[in-house]
Amino acid sequence: MKMTLSEIAQAIGAVIPEQQATKYQTTIVTSIAIDSRKAQTNSLFAPLKDQRDGHDFVENAKAAGAVATFWQTGHPNQPSDIIVIEVDDVLTAMQCLAKYYLMKVNPKVVAITGSNGKTTTKDMTAAILATQHNVTKTIANFNNEIGVPLTILAMETNTEVLVVEMGMDRPGQLTFLSNLVEPDVAVITMIGEAHIEFFGTRDKIADAKMEITSGLKEDGLLIINGDEPLLTTRAKKFEPRTFGLTQTNYLYPEKVALTQDHSEFKVNRWPDVTFTVPLLGEFNVMNALAALLVGRHYHVHPEKMAQALANFQPTENRTQWLKGDAGEMILSDVYNANPTATKEVLRSFVKVPATGRHIVVLGDMLELGEQAPKLHAELADEIMPQQVQEVYLYGNLMAALQARLVKVYPAAQLHYYPQDQQSALIADLKDNVHFGDTVLLKASNGMKLNQVLAALR
C-alpha cells in the first residue's frame, strides 16, 4: 500500500480541507492500523469503536509513527497535532478504501468459505498459487468485515492473486464480503453445524454459505464439495467444479494413506502424481482437493502443486502435532470445534498408532444453540473404549456427552470437569499422561484449551 492522503480522501469521498491541501498531496501512507500499538511509520490510523473507542488512542498511534487518522465527524476532542480525515463512519471508510485499493492493484481474487477447513484450504491454495504468482493471503484468520479490508490493504502493489478467507456468523455477512472483493473463484469447503445457534438448520447455513456467489464475476468459477447435497442442489446454475471422496466428483482421491503426521493420496485427474500434506486426516485431503482445483484453474503444473502441498505451513493451532513435557504426542486442534469437525478428527485420531494410550480431551463446542446438548451427546458414536482408553471432558455442555459415555466407560477412564475447573483438568492430565501416550485436544477457542496445551508442554 502506498497512497497520498489526497488519493485516500478522494477514494472514500472525504473532504480535503483547503488549508491542508498541500499536506494531503505530499503525505504518503504505506499501511493502515486499527490498533495503536501496531501503528508504524507513515501509517494511517483507523479508530474503530468496539469495547473501547479507538479515538481515545490516536495520540498513541501518532507516537508510534502514524501520520494521519480517520475521525468520525462530530466526535469530540478532535486532535490538532495529526492530519485528520473526517468520515461519517470509520469502518465504512476503511472498507471503501479497501475496495478502491483492490481495484487499483487488480489481482485475481480467490474467496474461500465453509463451516470447516477454510483456513487450511486458504493456506494450501496460497502455497500452490505462490509457485508461479505473487500471492497475498488472509492474515491469520482475519476473515470478517474488519479483517478482509485489512488483508486487502496489506497487499503489495505487485500482488497477482489475493486468496481471501471469509467467515460468517449471520445472514448477509458473506453477501457483503463477496461484493467487496468480487471473486474470480469462490470455494465452499463444506456445510457443518458451525453457528447453527444463529441459523437454526444446516439448510439455512447452506443458504448463507452460497452468499459467497453474490459478487462472483460473471465468468467466475465456483468450487464446492460435491458430496454435500445441500450445496450441489443450490449451486447447479453456476455449473460448479466439484471435489469429494466419491467418484461422481470432478476431482476425487485414490489410494489414500493416512499416518500420524501426514496424509498421502493420488487423484483421478493426475494418476501418476502422489500428493502429500503434512496434516492428519481425510478431511485435510478434502481441503487439499479444493486447493488443487484452484491451482488447476490457474494452470499450475501438478508436480508444482504436489511440492507446494508437501511444504505448506498451516496456520497455528489447526491439527498440529506437538510433543508434550512427558514425551507424549499431542494432536492440538484448539482453535475451533463443531460436531462435524470433531467427529472427523476423532475418526482420524484413533487410527494413529501409539505405543501407549489414546487419550481424548474434549471441550465444549460453542454456538450450537438449543441443539447443543444433543449434538454433544452424539459424539459418543465416535468414542469407544477399545480405541480411546482415557476420556477427559471439559465444560458445561460436555455433561451431555459424559452422560452417554458413562454407560460404556469405567469411572477410572472417564473424567468430567465443569468450565470453572480447568486447573483441576490440567493437574489430572499432568499426573496421568505418560511417555508413549497420544493425546487429542479439541474444543472451541472460547474454552481456552490452549492453556491446557501450554501446561502439557
Three-state SS annotation for 266-326: EECCCCCCCEEECCCCHHHHHHHHHHHHHHHHCCCCHHHHHHHHHHCCCCCCCCEEEECCC
Can you tell me the distance from the alpha carbon of 225 to that of 210, in angstroms, rounded to the nearest whole number? 12
Tell the residue number behind the cell numbers 489410494, with chain if given. Answer: 255
The range of the structural domain enclosing residue 77 comes to 3-87
114 is in an annotated binding site: yes
115 is in an annotated binding site: yes
99 is in an annotated binding site: no
Same domain for 58 and 140?
no
Q: Is 98 part of a structural domain of the chain? A: no
Q: Is 36 part of a structural domain of the chain? A: yes
Same domain for 183 and 296?
yes
Same domain for 337 and 270?
no
Q: Is 92 part of a structural domain of the chain? A: no
Same domain for 328 and 210?
no
138 is in an annotated binding site: no
DSSP SS3 for 44: strand
Can you tell me the distance from the alpha carbon of 122 to that of 333, in angstroms, rounded to the nearest whole number? 17
Same domain for 158 and 229?
yes
Q: Do the Cβ atoms of 42 and 114 come closer than 8 Å?
A: no
Same domain for 233 and 263?
yes
Give the CB-side neighbour count of residue 266, counting CA atoms within 13 A: 9
Q: Is 82 part of a structural domain of the chain? A: yes
Q: Do the Cβ atoms of 343 and 454 come closer than 8 Å?
A: no
Q: Is 102 part of a structural domain of the chain? A: no
CATH number of the domain enclosing 194 = 3.40.1190.10
Structural domain ending residue among the three candidates 286, 311, 336: 311
Same domain for 123 and 22?
no
CATH number of the domain enclosing 386 = 3.90.190.20
CA angle 257-260-263, nearest 5°? 35
**How many other C-beta atoms lie within 10 A of the C-beta of residue 424?**
13
Same domain for 326 and 395?
yes
CATH number of the domain enclosing 28 = 3.40.1390.10
Structural domain ending residue among the three candidates 279, 311, 343: 311
User: What would the grid cell of residue 374 be?
Assistant: 444433543
Residue 258 β-bridge partners: 263
Q: What letter would DSSP give residue 378?
A: G
User: What would the grid cell of residue 4 be?
Assistant: 497520498
- The rounded Cα 450 to chain-centroid distance in angstroms is 17
Q: Mutual orientation of helices 173-181 and 90-105 as an angle, nearest 10°? A: 40
Same domain for 231 and 373?
no
120 is in an annotated binding site: yes
Can you tell me the distance from the alpha carbon of 278 to that of 260, in angstroms, rounded to the nearest whole number? 9
356 is in an annotated binding site: no
Q: Is 100 part of a structural domain of the chain? A: no
Same domain for 56 and 200?
no
**Weakly modelled stretches of the chain, pLDDT under 70:** 194-197, 316-318
Same domain for 80 and 130?
no
Structural domains of the chain, count? 3
Distance between start and end Cα atoms, the chain: 40
Q: Where are the alpha helices (DSSP H) in 16-161?
A: 21-26, 58-63, 90-105, 118-129, 147-153
Can you give the pTM of this predicted structure?
0.86
> Can you say whether the dihedral through the CA atoms of 448, 451, 452, 453 is positive or negative?
positive
Structural domain ending residue among the three candidates 28, 59, 87: 87
User: What would the grid cell of residue 447 be?
Assistant: 474454552
Comparing CA positions, the residue from 71, 63, 25 lying closest to residue 43 is: 63
Same domain for 293 and 338?
no
Continuous segment of H or E residues that includes residue 291? helix 282-297
